[in-house]
Amino acid sequence: MTMAQESYQKLSASTKRRNRRHKLKSILSQTQNNLANNSNNIDHKSHPEITKDSNKNFIVNHNILGDVQDSLLKNKIEENIKMSSTDNKSRDDVMAARQAKKLAKQKGKGKEPVQNEIKEQNIAKPVAPKSEPAPSTEKKVTKEEQKPVKELNKEPTSKGKDEVDRAVKVDPIIEGADRSKEDIKAERAAKKAAKQAKKKGATEGERVEEVKVPEKPAVKEVSKQVNEDMTVKDVVETLRDIAIVAKEMKEVTVKVSAIDLSGKKAEESNKSKAELKAERRAKQEAQRAAKQAAQEKAAAAAKPKVEAKSAEGDAVKVKEDKAQKQKTLEKAKVKTGNGHRVNWFQHLYKEHDKEALKSIAINSNLHPAIVKLGVQLASKVVSGSNARCVALLDALKKMVRDYTLPAKTEFARGLESHLATSLDFLWAMRSPSASQTNAIKFFRYHLTQLPNNVDEFDAKKTLQEEIDRYIKEQIDMAGEAISITVRNKIADGDNILTYGCSSLIERILRDAWSAGLKFRTVVVGNRVHTGATDMLRRLVAHGLPCTYIDITSLSSVMDKVNKVVLGASALLVNGSVLGAAGTAQVALGAQAYNVPVLVACETHKFSERVQTDAFVYNEIGDPDDLIDKSDENSPLKDWRSNPNLTPLNLTYDVTPPSLVTAVVTELAILPCTSAPVVLRFKLSEYGV
């Protein structure tokens, strides 16, 4: 035929003995070469013949590509089916899997004559009813096996082999699907037994393994025979033999299932030697029969091929086993997953961040900036109340800028729905901080304030300006105001203690240092959350003299500290301060030593939520953070397999108002309990 096909045939001839994966790879590379040729050829448009040729090439390539994709797809589906069938799932599942497989098959044969498709359906249908007596089912199976052979007779193209492979692979699955649960169990038991036998001795194992795929070599043989001009009658005979072998196999499996049903899965590995022996003997007999059936028809030359194929089959089986193992592992994980949740924090657990990252819809309507922010939030690249707020507003600004209004939609409504989906995504990545909630409230407020018949351009401009204004007024200028206020409270020679990392505190201290105040900063950190070391680095880079201690050493320095300045994630309406885990402990320590505690918090972080302890709302951090990364043999590294061991990594804690001397806001220095007043004031002033 065409050049490409010739080359492919050559190729396939040379790779016959290789296993399937290598084949696929080479096909792919071949395809790529061809594609490259195509593009080259297309460049030379002055040669019409070449162009024509290349067009043909292209079509063939497409076919090959299709095949490759088919087989890949098929592999996947097969895996799924196997998993579901071995999983002892309900019948519906099995049915669904078969349906999917059928679809995939049809898809794969889309380019082939319609005739084939119809035939396939005819074959597939009679298989569907489940409660059929065994022999009839097997007949159907043989029928199906017949099909690819016929196809091959019709067009022995390069595709033929693929087709056969598929048929061979598909058959056991169909059988598996048709079988009852017990049968499936039995099959698994047989597999397991085979595995054990394999371990016992290499020679024995080989034989047993061959038994595992008795139909395969036979069918392969058939395909070979077809290539050598075999008569239809021979084919039918071969298939009958296969049917007999299959029957024998079934008997074996029934035997095994009888053994299996008496005990449970665990017993499979504890089978007595005698039972194992009996099984093996039965299998060997079956295998001998299969071999005979094959040998009767097959030429002696084809024999090595059989072995090669069976080896190939073994590889597949091994893969299957692996898949099964993985599945069981997953199951175990799921089971322990619930055990590792601290009971009183049950309501706070959600799917772990890493899982959330996987579920990002790539082709969704989300703005790239939103997606990026989502990833940054989930991976904690953007952390800290202010940073998260600014990043959110920035992403919103980009979203507004690039938003195109669908026809016949009011701007505010259209953007609102778009905003809602974006926020759903973002909050799924990480639940919003108070600052973010307030920023969104503000944005929504201005969205609703837009006149109905507003021009799209004007609306965008207004919103972007409002966002800029919010960042400037609520975050930047507020920070400056707070910085000035706190600076007035710092005296020369003071020791100022701070906990964790806060952009606002950093700014306050830097400004105060720049203003010429001479003080020492005590940065308190903890081992799990490394924010404090970042804070320390930034302060040191700015030339501030610093002292670093761990939170456990608090009492050793507290008697020398003059003021404690803390950042906050949110100020709740009941006056509690939601801060990084450990904040409350520092405040408590300060109170014990009668050191004033100032909490610096812009009013945009004031929240209308109320909370009395850290249980109502919190975020469960990555438990692995607790484990010492530098230690290879950390005693906690196996916590997932130990249901009694649960690392708990809390993100926030709540400092009661009694422990806080005052809150420094851009409005004034206030007692904590004035939070509702501030919120009411803001409502009247800004509408949010």
Stretch that binds another protein, among 116-124, 186-194, 300-308, 652-660 (CB under 8 A): 652-660
Q: Does 505 bind another protein (CB under 8 A)?
A: no
Of 201 and 643, the one with the shorter C-beta distance to another protein is 643
Residue 634 lies near another protein (rule: CB under 8 A): yes
The least distance separating another protein from the CB of residue 634, rounded to whole angstroms, comes to: 6
Instruction: Name which of 440 and 654 has its Cβ closer to another protein.
Output: 654
Task: Tell which one of 152, 290, 399, 584 touches another protein (CB under 8 A).
Answer: 584
CA 261 to mean position of chain CA atoms: 37
- Report the site for another protein in 338-367 (rule: CB under 8 A): 342, 344
Least Å distance, CB 495 to another protein, is: 11
- Residue 603: count of CB within 10 angstroms of its CB: 22
**Which lies closer to another protein via its Cβ, residue 172 or residue 582?**
582
CB 649 → another protein: shortest distance, Å?
A: 7
Pairing of strands 546-550, 520-525: parallel
Rule CB under 8 A: choose which of 11, 73, 484, 627 binds another protein.
627
Tell me if 566 contacts another protein by CB under 8 A: no
Query: Between residues 95 and 645, which has the closer beta carbon with respect to another protein?
Result: 645
User: Which among 536, 529, 547 has a CA at the least distance from the CA of 619?
Assistant: 529
The number of residues that bind another protein (CB under 8 A) is 59
Q: Distances from the Cα of 266 to the Cαs of 192, 195, 260, 317, in angstroms?
A: 11, 15, 10, 21
**Binding another protein by CB under 8 A: which of 646, 662, 669, 679?**
646
**Residue 337 interacts with another protein (CB under 8 A)?**
no
Stretch that binds another protein, among 14-22, 307-315, 425-433, 627-635 (CB under 8 A): 627-635
Alpha helices in 403-502 (DSSP H): 411-429, 434-449, 456-470, 478-487
How far apart are the C-alpha atoms of 598 and 486, rounded to whole Å? 9
275's CB contacts (< 8 A; 6+ apart) are 259
Sort strands 669-670 and 662-664 into parallel, antiparallel or unpaired: antiparallel
Query: Residue 498 forms beta bridges with which residues?
Result: 523, 565
**Distance between CA atoms of residues 43 and 64, nearest Å:** 23
Return the SS3 of 452: coil
CA-to-CA distance for 625 and 634, rounded, in angstroms?
A: 12
Taking CB atoms within 8 Å and a gap of at least 24, the contacts of 180-184 are: 180/130, 181/88, 182/257, 182/261, 183/253, 183/257, 184/85, 184/86, 184/88
Query: What is the distance between the alpha carbons of residues 252 and 208, in angstroms, rounded to a whole number?
Result: 13
State yes or no: residue 556 binds another protein (CB under 8 A): yes
Contact flag: residue 589 with another protein (CB under 8 A)? yes
Q: According to CB under 8 A, which one of 245, 369, 439, 554 is a site residue for another protein?
A: 554
Cβ–Cβ under 8 Å, residues 603 and 665: yes
Q: E strands of 222-367, at which residues?
A: none
Q: Does 578 interact with another protein (rule: CB under 8 A)?
A: no
Between helix 503-514 and helix 385-402 the angle, nearest 10°, is 110
* Binding residue (CB under 8 A) for another protein from 546, 610, 662, 679: 546
Among 588, 610, 669, 679, binds another protein (CB under 8 A): 588
User: Does the footprint of another protein cover residue 645 (CB under 8 A)?
Assistant: yes
Q: Return the structure tokens found at 677.
A: 């007043």
Q: Is 254 in the site for another protein (CB under 8 A)?
A: no
> Counting contacts by CB under 8 A, is residue 66 touching another protein?
no
**68, 242, 512, 650: which one binds another protein (CB under 8 A):** 650
Cβ at position 163, least distance to another protein in Å = 56
φ, ψ dihedrals at 272, nearest 5°? -70, 160
Residue 557 binds another protein (CB under 8 A) = yes
Question: Binding residue for another protein (CB under 8 A) from 262, 363, 488, 644?
Answer: 644
* Rounded Cα distance, 284 and 287, in Å: 5
Residue 531 interacts with another protein (CB under 8 A): yes or no: no
* 614 touching another protein, by CB under 8 A: yes
Footprint (CB under 8 A) of another protein, residues 105-134: none
Cβ-based nearer residue to another protein, 39 or 555 = 555
Q: What's the closest the beta carbon of residue 483 comes to another protein, in angstroms?
A: 21
DSSP assignment, residue 129? -
The residue within the footprint of another protein, chosen from 116, 647, 662, 669 (CB under 8 A), is 647
Site for another protein in 509-528 (CB under 8 A): 525-528
Is there binding between residue 662 and another protein (CB under 8 A)?
A: no
Give least dist CB 569 to another protein, A. 13
- Largest Cα separation within the chain, whole Å, is 106
| Among 400, 440, 544, 664, interactor with another protein by CB under 8 A | 544
Among candidate residues 501, 527, 523, 500, the one with its CA nearest the CA of residue 647: 527
From candidates 5, 649, 661, 673, binder to another protein by CB under 8 A: 649
Burial zone of 552 (CB within 10 Å; 0-12 exposed, 13-18 middle, 19+ buried)? exposed
Are 283 and 211 spatial neighbours (Cβ–Cβ below 8 Å)?
yes
Stretch that binds another protein, among 108-116, 194-202, 295-303, 540-548 (CB under 8 A): 540-548
- Tokens of residue 579, six digits: 């801060």
Under rule CB under 8 A, residue 592 binds another protein: yes
Nearer to another protein, 45 or 629 (CB): 629
Report the phi/psi class of residue 500: left, alpha or beta, with left for phi > 0 and alpha for psi in -120 to 50: left
The dihedral sign for the CA sequence 291, 294, 297, 300: negative
- Read off φ and ψ for residue 149, nearest 5 degrees: -60, -45
Among 267, 296, 473, 628, indicate the residue that binds another protein (CB under 8 A).
Answer: 628
Least distance (Å) between residue 560 CB and another protein:
11
Chain positions contacting another protein, by CB under 8 A: 342, 344, 525-529, 533, 536-537, 540, 543-557, 580-582, 584-585, 588-589, 592, 613-615, 618, 626-628, 630-631, 634-636, 638-639, 642, 644-650, 652-654
